[in-house]
Structure 1
């Protein structure tokens, strides 16, 4: 959690920049927008200010990461919720072809998996490599998320680009508790 005085200081700094005419969606010399920076620093008050001033929740930094990607990386559920409420694209792929959901799986953050699914993430879609998200959950041995996605109706027989199902992956990796 970012101390309140740090959050307020960042919000005030951004408010001054905006009042001086800075475009809320302009990129700085490092390829970041004010919203990217506020999300990265975990300043909820700065995020609120920028969203009120019309910041684009799907604008990318120079690495094709949206504010949602950054919020997932920082595991900031509050800012994630604010971005979702403003229409952040759950399926946007960064420069590596990874969506926010991919990043959540890597970090094994079940609360964020639930939050994404509640906001309508299509867990049946495949990543840039043709791998379904259920396969990622199984291959990372993220048992609680596998259970959650299956209870929500994921296709257990979906295949990856090699024709493998989740059962193939679980058996190959000796994940008996999933198989």
Structure 2
């Protein structure tokens, strides 16, 4: 059992960091204690990370589920505009992506560079994630801030095998 120091011993930034670290480490007991003590479920650190963004990115399903059950917003964006689903698409954690989408995560929220979760999945060759996002209705026609389409990104990153000639379906 993790012992918590009195709240006066830590700055608000340190408390948020400890909360987010608990999510990263999948410490659902500590997350529950923070939340029961009044921690804002969508508290953000200096990079805009929330516990949900970090838990999802690290593929920790129990912490992700707990945070969503406790009201975490699956569409919060970090300082670069990335959502939890963006990080999951990049890393390829399909079970976490399924949970996020079933909990209301939007499929096409672009980062500040205009990149959507589908684009991140394509960039990193996450074929199962690409299939999942397309099946759920992700927009393959979206263009990023440089004007690149999903198909353009696939070609640039050596992933053109993910798409058929029309650029919208997996081969």
Q: Structure 1 length normalisation: TM-score?
A: 0.72
Task: Provide, for residues 107-129 of structure 1, a one-character-per-residue CA deviation record: whole Å limited to 9, x for no partner.
Answer: 11111110110110111222222
2:139 corresponds in structure 1 to 122
CA distance in structure 1 between the partners assigned to 2:26 and 2:155 by the alignment: 43
Give the structure with higher Rg (CA).
Answer: 1
Counterpart of 1:58 (choices 69, 72, 75) is: 75
1:94 corresponds in structure 2 to 111
Q: Where does 1:18-37 land on structure 2 (aligned, <5 Å)? A: 18-37=35-54
Give the deviation of 1:41 after TM superposition.
3.0
- Structure 2 residue 168 is the aligned partner of structure 1 residue 144: no
Give the deviation of 1:94 after TM superposition.
1.3
Give the deviation of 1:143 after TM superposition.
3.8
CA distance in structure 2 between the partners assigned to 1:29 and 1:69 by the alignment: 19
- How many residues of Structure 1 are paired with residues of Structure 2 in the alignment? 148
Change beyond 3 A, Cα 1:35–1:7: closer
Q: Where does 1:1-80 land on structure 2 (aligned, <5 Å)? A: 10-80=27-97
Q: Structure 2 length normalisation: TM-score?
A: 0.75
Q: Structure 1 regions of 5+ residues with no counterpart? A: 1-5, 154-179
Change beyond 3 A, Cα 1:145–1:49: same
Deviates more, 1:113-122 or 1:136-145: 136-145
Q: Structure 2 regions of 5+ residues with no counterpart? A: 1-22
Cα RMSD (Å) of the superposition? 2.5
Change beyond 3 A, Cα 1:83–1:9: closer
CA distance in structure 2 between the partners assigned to 1:147 and 1:98 by the alignment: 21
CA distance in structure 1 between the partners assigned to 2:169 and 2:45 by the alignment: 41
Task: Provide, for residues 11-70 of structure 1, a one-character-per-residue CA deviation record: whole Å limited to 9, x for no partner.
Answer: 111111100001111213553212122113322111111111111000012222111111
